[in-house]
């Protein structure tokens, strides 16, 4: 991964976390775990975890509705030539890590 993509992903992760914190209704805890940028910087996938797990689909639907607002929010806060289109996904890798931690205890 190039430095430019890594730096952009880090900046977008921070902005996405701020946005989610500001916009969520606090009925569930939504955490932005990472952002993956495409090689041409046109698409960004924001990976999230949700607690409690029963609220995952509701939180994911909420964030998918807010994609455009996140892009406008990032436009004012991130210095990139072109702000990518956002998509949200549940971070399955983080869920698996948590299961392994539980099993090891």
Domain boundaries, the chain: 3-104
Contact 39, 67 (CB under 8 A): no
Question: What is the pLDDT averaged over residues 76-105?
Answer: 90
Task: Determine the pLDDT at residue 1.
Answer: 63
Q: Measured between alpha carbons, how far is 20 from 24 in angstroms, rounded to an integer?
A: 6
Q: Measured between alpha carbons, how far is 47 from 49 in angstroms, rounded to an integer?
A: 7
Instruction: Quote the tokens at residue 28.
Output: 């569930």
Q: Measured between alpha carbons, how far is 50 from 48 in angstroms, rounded to an integer?
A: 7
pLDDT in tens, 14-42: 999 999 999 998 889 999 999 999 999 99
Task: Determine the pLDDT at residue 93.
Answer: 86
Other Cβ atoms within 10 Å of 62 Cβ, number? 18
Q: Does the pLDDT value for residue 7 go beyond 70? A: yes
Q: Does the pLDDT value for residue 95 go beyond 90? A: no
Q: Nearest Cα to 45, choosing from 101, 79, 5?
A: 5
Q: Does the pLDDT value for residue 96 go beyond 80? A: yes
Q: Is 104 exposed, middle or buried (0-12, 13-18, 19+ CB in 10 A)?
A: exposed
Assigned fold of 3-104:
GMP Synthetase; Chain A, domain 3 (3.30.300)
Task: Determine the pLDDT at residue 99.
Answer: 84
């Amino acid at each position: 991964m190039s430095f430019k993509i890594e730096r952009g992903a880090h900046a977008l992760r921070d902005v996405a976390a701020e946005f989610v914190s500001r916009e969520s209704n606090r009925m569930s805890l939504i955490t932005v775990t990472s952002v993956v940028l495409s090689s041409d910087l046109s698409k960004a996938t924001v990976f999230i975890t949700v607690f409690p797990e029963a609220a995952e689909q509701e939180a994911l639907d909420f964030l998918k509705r807010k994609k455009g607002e996140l892009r406008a929010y990032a436009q004012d806060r991130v210095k990139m030539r072109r702000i990518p289109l956002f998509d949200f996904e549940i971070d399955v890798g983080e869920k698996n890590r948590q299961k392994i931690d539980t099993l090891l205890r």
